[in-house]
């Protein structure tokens, strides 16, 4: 079998022969200096009053700034300490040839991920998932709580298993491989118990860290299908390593599972403030189609201070990046909500609602939701995702100016609490683990927030 020059074989060559560069030099000199240049050259300016900018010129300028940045610095392979760089024609060809649609699921649960436009009248694809570690005795029920939401277009096994048969699955150990396989088994069982065995997974597992874990869990014998996907992580900022490239090569060759990407740009990290973080976030999408050669992507813009993607600056980045991609490419991507607050709190649902409105109005898809900063055991439930899906559908077709005012009102309800958000309750306290039905307390909290959203102008019926 002979692969084309634009394939992963060519990427592997570049990782071995590209310009030598130490990681600290890439972060502090190459990336930072070039970012400052393109921010000034393309006049990228953050305005905190416009969380959903109504400025097409700004969106286009952001795309051009990210293109120039990536053209000059490329991706750093930390395994070889070399830059993987591409010519302008290679970047443009990759954008032209990128996937224009992805099919998840089968039968009545077949869903298509297709490009959207800013203020699109078509609802976003509602990816549903979480990120906190989950105890193995309730993992199936947590996934079931996501899958039984009728507005969930895809679900995820993205919550890592806390233990497997009582063993902590440390990276690189046999327990990691075992936990990764059971991650998929339990996730598939959760979908089956929800009555949706054919629903697609946009991310099959969150337990695996190593390539061995991913490959072991991506087998048809475990129920994995070509209409399910796994996410390859891009290392912040604009980096990869041999583990990520091994995953990419495996998915490219086997084609038994869809290949997606997750980008976690760090607000306040080497990208700097909102302007630089936005440019880096969009550049990560270029890296995805060129280096890891993925078909779709998901990105939570994580604020270093608050460890969430729902802070004011993070929402602006998600919106302007979404608009820039929507206007200048057909790349398939979703903005992900990582909330500061935990389940069964009004604040958590406000955060999810704000994130959903931003993604929907900005011309991309939405992924809800990782609660409690994705840091606390068992702090995930299907109720957060349910809110995100309902709000995404209700906000479909909303003008950016109206969406901006609505998000600003929601932000006022929670931004003063980002420093010390309420932790909320564990899944076992939010749901009956036998019936997998939400508690009366959480239903009451949900209903109050839903009524408030309707008073603000959203039609959630």
**pLDDT of the residue at 6:** 53
**pLDDT of the residue at 5:** 41
111-113 vs 102-104, strand pairing mode: antiparallel
Statement: residue 2 has pLDDT above 80: no
DSSP bridge partners of 126: 366
Statement: residue 4 has pLDDT above 50: no
**pLDDT of the residue at 304:** 95
What does 399-458 look like in DSSP terms, one character per residue?
-HHHHHHHHHHHHHHHGGGSSS------HHHHEETTTTEE-HHHHHHHHHHHHHHHHTT-
| 3-state percent breakdown (helix, strand, coil) of the chain, nearest 5 | 45, 15, 40
Rounded distance between C-alpha atoms, residue 439 and residue 83, angstroms: 52
pLDDT band at residue 203 using 50, 70 and 90 as cut-offs: very high
Rounded distance between C-alpha atoms, residue 73 and residue 371, angstroms: 34
Range of the domain at 237: 102-455
Q: Is residue 173 assigned to a domain?
A: yes
Q: Which of 356, 269, 275, 362 is nearest to 324 (CA)?
A: 362
Q: Is residue 37 assigned to a domain?
A: no
101-149 pLDDT, tens digit per residue, is 999 999 999 999 999 999 999 999 999 999 999 999 999 999 999 999 9
**pLDDT of the residue at 94:** 96
Residue appearing with tokens 């912040």: 236
Q: Is residue 300 assigned to a domain?
A: yes
Q: Which of 172, 129, 379 is nearest to 260 (CA)?
A: 129
**pLDDT of the residue at 7:** 84
E-strand spans in 272-384?
A: 296-299, 302-303, 333-338, 365-370
Angle at 35 between CA 7 and CA 15, to 5 degrees: 25
Q: Is residue 6 assigned to a domain?
A: no
Statement: residue 282 has pLDDT above 60: yes
Statement: residue 293 has pLDDT above 60: yes
Q: Which two tokens stand for residue 254?
A: 């086997």
Q: Is residue 21 assigned to a domain?
A: no
What does 436-450 look like in DSSP terms, one character per residue?
TEE-HHHHHHHHHHH
Residue appearing with tokens 């200048």: 328
Instruction: Give how many domains the chain has, as a whole number.
Output: 1
Q: Is residue 179 assigned to a domain?
A: yes
Q: Which two tokens stand for residue 392?
A: 């995404």
Q: Is residue 148 assigned to a domain?
A: yes
The predicted model gives 15-43 an average pLDDT of: 97
174-194 pLDDT, tens digit per residue, is 999 999 999 999 999 999 999
- Residue 276: give its domain's CATH number: 3.20.20.460
Q: Which of 11, 5, 164, 155 is nearest to 77 (CA)?
A: 11
Rounded distance between C-alpha atoms, residue 403 and residue 396, angstroms: 10
The predicted model gives 301-321 an average pLDDT of: 97
Rounded distance between C-alpha atoms, residue 411 and residue 302, angstroms: 16
The predicted model gives 284-308 an average pLDDT of: 97
The predicted model gives 53-78 an average pLDDT of: 98
Statement: residue 265 has pLDDT above 60: yes
Average pLDDT, the chain: 96
**pLDDT of the residue at 1:** 40
Q: Lowest-pLDDT range, 4-13, 230-239, 343-352, 386-395? A: 4-13
Q: Is residue 15 assigned to a domain?
A: no
Rounded distance between C-alpha atoms, residue 418 and residue 247, angstroms: 35
Cis amide leading into 369 (omega within 30): yes
Residue appearing with tokens 């564990």: 426
424-446 pLDDT, tens digit per residue, is 999 999 999 999 999 999 999 99
Residue appearing with tokens 């403030």: 273
390-436 pLDDT, tens digit per residue, is 999 999 999 999 999 999 999 999 999 999 999 999 999 999 999 99
**pLDDT of the residue at 461:** 78
Contact 191, 147 (CB under 8 A): yes
């Amino acid at each position: 079998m002979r692969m084309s020059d634009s394939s992963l074989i060519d990427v592997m060559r570049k990782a071995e022969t590209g310009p030598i560069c130490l990681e600290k030099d890439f972060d502090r000199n190459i990336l930072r200096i070039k970012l400052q240049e393109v921010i000034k050259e393309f006049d990228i300016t953050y305005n905190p009053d416009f969380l959903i900018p109504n400025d097409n010129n700004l969106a286009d300028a952001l795309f051009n700034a990210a293109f120039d940045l990536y053209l000059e610095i490329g991706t750093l392979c930390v395994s070889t300490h070399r830059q993987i760089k591409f010519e302008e024609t290679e970047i443009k060809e990759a954008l032209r040839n990128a996937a224009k649609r992805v099919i998840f699921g089968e039968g009545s649960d077949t869903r298509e991920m297709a490009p959207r436009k800013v203020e699109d009248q078509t609802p976003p694809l509602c990816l549903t998932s979480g990120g906190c570690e989950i105890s193995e005795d309730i993992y199936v029920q947590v996934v079931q709580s996501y899958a039984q939401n009728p507005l969930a277009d895809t679900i995820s096994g993205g919550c890592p298993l806390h233990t497997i048969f009582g063993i902590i699955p440390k990276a690189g150990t046999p327990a990691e491989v075992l936990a990764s396989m059971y991650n998929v088994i339990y996730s598939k069982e959760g979908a089956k118990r929800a009555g949706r065995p054919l629903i697609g997974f946009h991310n099959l597992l969150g337990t695996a860290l190593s390539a061995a874990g991913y490959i072991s869990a991506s087998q048809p014998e475990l129920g994995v299908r070509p209409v399910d996907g796994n996410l390859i992580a891009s290392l912040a900022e604009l980096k990869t390593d041999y583990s990520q490239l091994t995953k990419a090569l495996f998915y490219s060759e086997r084609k038994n599972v869809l290949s997606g990407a997750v980008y976690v740009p760090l607000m306040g990290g080497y990208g700097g403030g909102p302007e630089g973080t936005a440019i880096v976030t969009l550049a990560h999408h270029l890296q995805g189609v060129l280096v890891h050669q993925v078909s779709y992507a998901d990105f939570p813009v994580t604020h270093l201070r608050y460890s969430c993607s729902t802070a004011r600056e993070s929402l602006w980045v998600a919106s302007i990046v979404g608009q820039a991609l929507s206007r200048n490419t057909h790349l398939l991507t979703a903005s992900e909500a990582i909330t500061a607050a935990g389940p069964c709190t009004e604040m958590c649902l406000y955060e999810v609602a704000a994130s959903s409105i931003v993604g929907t109005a900005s011309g991309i898809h939405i992924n809800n939701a990782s609660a409690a900063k994705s840091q606390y055991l068992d702090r995930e439930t299907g109720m957060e995702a349910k809110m995100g899906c309902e709000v995404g559908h209700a906000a479909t077709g909303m003008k950016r100016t109206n969406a901006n005012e609505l998000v600003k009102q929601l932000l006022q309800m929670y931004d003063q609490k980002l420093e010390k958000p309420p932790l909320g309750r564990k899944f076992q306290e939010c749901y009956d683990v036998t019936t997998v039905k939400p508690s009366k307390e959480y239903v009451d909290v949900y209903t109050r927030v839903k009524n408030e959203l309707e008073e603000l102008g959203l039609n959630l019926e």
